[in-house]
Structure 1
Amino acid sequence: MKILLATDAYSVIVNGVITSIKNLRRELISMGHDVKILTLSSNRHSYIDYDSNVVYLGSYDISKIYPDARFSLSYTNPLIDSILTWKPDIIHTQSEFTTFSIARKIANKLDIPIIHTYHTLYEEYTHYFSPSERIGKYLAKKFTKRIYHKSTCMVVPTLKTYKVLKKYGIDENIYIVPTGLSMDKFSIKYPKEELELLKEELNLPLKSKILISVGRIGKEKNIEELINYLTKMKFKNIHLLIVGDGPYKNTLANLIKDYNLNNKITFTGLIPNDELNIYYQMADLFVSASTSETQGLTYIESLANGTPILCRDDECLEQTVINNYNGFRYNSFDEFSEKLKLILNNNGLYKNFVENAVISVNENFSSTTFANKILEIYEKYIK
C-alpha cells in the first residue's frame, strides 16, 4: 500500500503529534508499506530527503498567529507533482492547516480517501487566537466541523476527544485509536553512574528528589500551577526539571525569579526525542498540571521508562495514569501535596509504582497494535 502522511510539523522538537507520526511511519514501513511524509520545511526552501522519503515544502513563519506554526503557498510546487506521479492509495493527515489543504487537493485529483487524525482540542487553546474564550470555542467548533466534512473519516486518540466531537454534532465515521509507542526504544536502562553524571551536568542537587515536566511550554500546559504548589509546600529536597521549550517559557522564568526559586527549578531547553529516556529515568517522578491533553504521549513515555506520575485529573488519562497503581491523579493542592509526600516517602509503594509503570505501557500502548488498528481503517476506505 502507498501511504502519504501529511503534517505541518515533522522535526526533533518535543511534541506528541510528531512522536505519533514517527511511530506510525516506522511500523507501516516494517509491515512492508511504501510511506512518504509531506511536511513543511523550516525555511522557504523546498526539497526531498530521499533517505527518509520526506517531502519538505518551503514555508513562512506565522508563529505570531499561533505558536510554532508555519504556512506555505506551495500549492503548485513540482514536489507535489512528484507525489501525484507516485499515486498514493490513501492520505492520512495529521494537521489542520497547510498540509491538510494540499492533501485535499491531491486526494481530489487522485480520487482517494483522506483520513484525518484530530490531535488538538482547539477549544482549550483559545487564548492563542481569540480574546474571548466563548468566541474562541465557537470558532474551534466551526473549524473542526469544516475539517471533518472535508475528510473521509476521523481518528481520535481518546474517548475524551470523541466526546468533544460528539458535542459538536460529529458522531459518524469516528474511530478511537490510542497512539502507541515502540517498546524497543525503552529497553535501555541507564546505570546509576550515568544518571548522576547527567544530574551533575545540569547542576542538579544529587540528594534531591527530581520532579520532571516534559513537553511544549505553553500556557495551556499549566506549569504555573506546579510552581505555585511547590512554593506553598516549601519542600527542601525537591527540584523541578522542565524539559522543552515554548512561548510561555519567559513568563514562567519571571515567575520563578519572583518566587526566588532559581535554585529549585531548572529549564533544560529543547531535548531531541531520542535523548529523552535518560532524563525520564533520572527523575523520581513525572508531574503535570495540564488539562489540555488529547492523550499525553509524554506521560506514556515516562511510564515506559519506569517513572511514576503525579498529574492533574483528566478524562483522557484515566487509562494511562491509574490511581494507586502507577501514580496518582489529583484535583486540588491538598491532594497534590498529600500524594507527592506519599509517593516520595513510601519506598515500598514507590517501588511498586515503578514496576507497574512499565507493565501498564506494555499491556496498553504498543505501537504495533496502534499501526494495525490504523491499517484496518485504511483498508476499509480504499476503493
Structure 2
Amino acid sequence: MEPLRIAMFSDSALPILNGVSVSVDALVGELRNQGHSVHLYTARYPHYRDPDANTYRFRALETPISRGYPVAIPPFYRMLHKFRRQEYDVVHTHTPFVLGMVGLRWAESHGLPIVSTYHTLYDRYSHYFRLLPRRYIRFRIAKHTNFYYNHVDHVLTPSEASMKWLKRHSVSTPTTVVPTGIPRGPMLERAEMRQALGIPPDARILLYVGRLAQEKNLGVLLEAAAAVCREDPRARLWLVGDGPYRQECVDIVRRSGIGDRVRFVGFVPRAEVDRYYAAADLFVFSSITETQGLVVQEAMTHGLPAVVVAGGGAGASVVDGLNGFVVKNEAGELARTIQRVLRDEPLYSRLTEQAPRSVRDLGVPAMGERVLAVYRQVIRDQRESANADRFAWV
C-alpha cells in the first residue's frame, strides 16, 4: 500500500507532558517508522525548539484557566497556506477545542476525511472555569462534545469506558477502541534504581505519576496513604508530577501528620520517569477522570502491580488478583487493599510476575496498525461516496 500523508492537530503536545501528548508522540513516531509522512500542528510553547521539521506551531498565549497549556490564537492564514501545500490524505485531530476546530474546518474545506481521538472526559474539568456555574459549563462541554464528534468521519477512543461516555453524549459517529500503545524502554535494574534514588532497602514505595490537579481525586489517595503509613512504618508515598493542586496536597499531608513520609518529586522529564517505576513497590492511582490511565500500564511494564480507584478508564487494564486491584472510590478501602498487597508476599510476588505479561500486547506497533486501518477505511469510504454522487448525476 502507498504511504499516506497525514495532518495531525492537537492543542496539547510535547514538551507538555500528559496522556494526550504522550499518545500523539508515540503515534507520530510509529507512523513515521512505517513510512508515512506525518505533520503535527500544535500550539507554540515558550522557549521550546522542536527537533522535528514537520511540526508546525501556531502563535499561542496562556490564559488564567490554561496555565502551562498555551492556547493557539488567530489569525491562522499563514499556517493555512502551509497546510494547503502539503496535499494530505487524511486529517487526525486529538482535541476538540481551538486546534481541533481548525483541523475540522480545514478538512471540510479541502474535502479531506477526518478522524478524531477522544482522549479526555472533558466535563470532569469544569472546575477550572471559576467564573461560571459548574452545571452550565458541563452542559456547554456536553453540547460541544456532541457537535464535534458527530461532525468527524470516525472516532477513536482508548477504552470501552470512554466509548460509553461518548454514547451518553449522543455521539453516533462510527467509533473504534484503540488503546494507546506503550513505548517500550530498556528494562532497568531495580536495586540500581533504588540506590540511585536514595531509597532504603526496607522501604515500601507507593508511587503516583501524573498531574497534581483537583480532578485526579488526590484527596482520597492522600487519606489512604496516611492510613497505610500509620500501620506500616516502611511505607512511603512518592508523587511524580506537578500541577495547580500541589499546595493543597502539601497542606493535606501536613494535617495528616505524614509530612516526612511523602515526597513531592515534582516534574520529571518523560525519559526519566522509568527510573521511578523501576524503583517503586506498588503503583497507586485515584483519578476517576481518565479515558485509559496510560501511567497504570506504563507502571505494569516495569513489574509494578497497581491499586486503582474505579471510575473512568484507568482500571480497564487491571484484573483483580492478576496484576492489581480496582477498588471503590473510598479512602478506607483503598488503604486496606494497599496494606493487603504489601503484607501478602505470595500475592505480591504473583502480581509483580503477571503485571508485565498482562500489558504485553499494548505496544505502539499494534496501535499504529489499528489507526492506519481506520485511516484507510475513511479514505476508501470518502472515495466510494464521491463515486456514488458522480454516478447519481448520470
- TM-score after normalising by structure 2: 0.89
* Structure 1 counterpart of 2:323, one-letter code: N
CA deviations over 1:327-367 (Å, ceiling 9, x no partner): 1111134432332122112222212111111001103x121
The SS at the match of 1:287 is strand
- 2:358 equivalent in structure 1: 360
2:35 is the alignment partner of 1:32 = yes
CA distance in 1: counterparts of 2:60 and 2:65, whole angstroms? 15
Task: Give the secondary structure class of the aligned counterpart of 1:91.
Answer: strand
Query: Any conservation in 1 of the 2:43–2:60 contact (CA below 8 Å)?
Result: yes
Q: What amino acid is the match of 2:148?
A: I
Select which of 11, 14, 20 maps to 1:11.
14
Match of 1:69 in 2: 69
Q: Which residue of 2 aligns with 1:97?
A: 97
Contact between 1:91 and 1:115, CA under 8 Å: does it hold in 2?
A: yes
Unaligned runs of 5+ in 1: none
User: How many angstroms does 1:50 deviate by?
Assistant: 6.6
SS in 2 for 1:111: coil
> 1:142 Cα deviation (Å)?
0.5
Cα distance 1:35–1:48, how it changes in 2: closer, same or farther (>3 A)?
farther
Question: Is 1:228 aligned to 2:235, yes or no?
Answer: no
Match of residue 391 from structure 2: none
Q: Report the CA distance between 1:5 and its aligned residue.
A: 1.2
Counterpart secondary structure, 1:290: coil
Q: Which amino acid aligns with 1:38?
A: Y
Secondary structure of the residue that 2:307 maps to in structure 1? strand
Aligned to 1:340: 338
What's the offset of the Cα at 1:250?
1.4
Cα distance in 1, alignment partners of residues 54 and 208 from structure 2: 33
- List alignment gaps of at least 5 residues for structure 2: 384-394
Aligned to 2:244: 247
Task: Give the secondary-structure state (helix, strand or coil) at the position aligned to 1:335.
Answer: helix
Contact kept in structure 1, 2:288 and 2:314, CA below 8 Å: no
How far the C-alpha of 1:25 sits from its partner, in A, is 0.8
Shift in Å, 1:10: 1.3
Corresponding residue of 1:109: 109
| TM alignment of 1:253-264, pairs within 5 A | 253-264=250-261
Counterpart of 1:310? Answer: 307
Q: SS state of the match for residue 147, structure 1?
A: helix
Alignment of 1:165-314 (within 5 A): 165-183=166-184, 185=185, 187-198=186-197, 200=198, 204-233=199-228, 234=230, 235-314=232-311
Paired residues of 1:119 and 1:156 also in contact (CA < 8 A): yes
Task: Count residues in correspondence.
Answer: 373
Give the conservation status (yes or no) of the 8 Å contact 1:57–1:72: yes
2:326 maps to which residue? 329
> Displacement, 1:317?
4.1
User: In the alignment, residue 262 of structure 1 is paired with which amino acid?
Assistant: G
| Aligned partners of 1:49 and 1:55 also within 8 Å | no
Shift of 1:318: 4.7
The separation in 2 between residues aligned to 1:75 and 1:147, in whole angstroms, is 21
In 2: Cα distance, 1:270 partner to 1:34 partner: 32
Whole-angstrom distance in 2 between the partners of 1:212 and 1:362: 21
Letter paired with 1:94 = H
Q: Flag the 1:263–1:206 CA change in 2: closer, same or farther, 3 A.
A: farther
Q: 1:48, 1:55 within 8 Å by CA — same for their partners in 2? A: no
Tell me the amino acid that sits aligned with residue 26 of structure 2: N
3-state secondary structure, aligned to 1:127:
helix
Instruction: Verify the 8 A CA contact 1:119 1:294 in the aligned structure 2.
Output: yes
> What is the TM-score normalised by the length of structure 1?
0.91
Shift of 1:61: 0.4
- Given that 2:193 and 2:276 are in contact with CA atoms closer than 8 Å, whether structure 1 keeps it comes out as no
Q: Contact 2:150–2:172 at 8 Å: present in 1 too?
A: no
Please give the root-mean-square deviation of Cα atoms over the aligned residues, in Å: 2.1
Aligned residues of 1:36 and 1:54 also touching (Cα < 8 A)? yes
Which runs of at least 4 in structure 1 moved beyond 6 Å after TM superposition? none
Change in 2 beyond 3 A, CA 1:97/1:68: farther
Counterpart residue type for residue 38 of structure 2 = V
In 1, the alpha carbon distance for the partners of 2:314 and 2:62 equals: 33
**2:5–2:38 Cα contact (<8 Å) kept:** yes
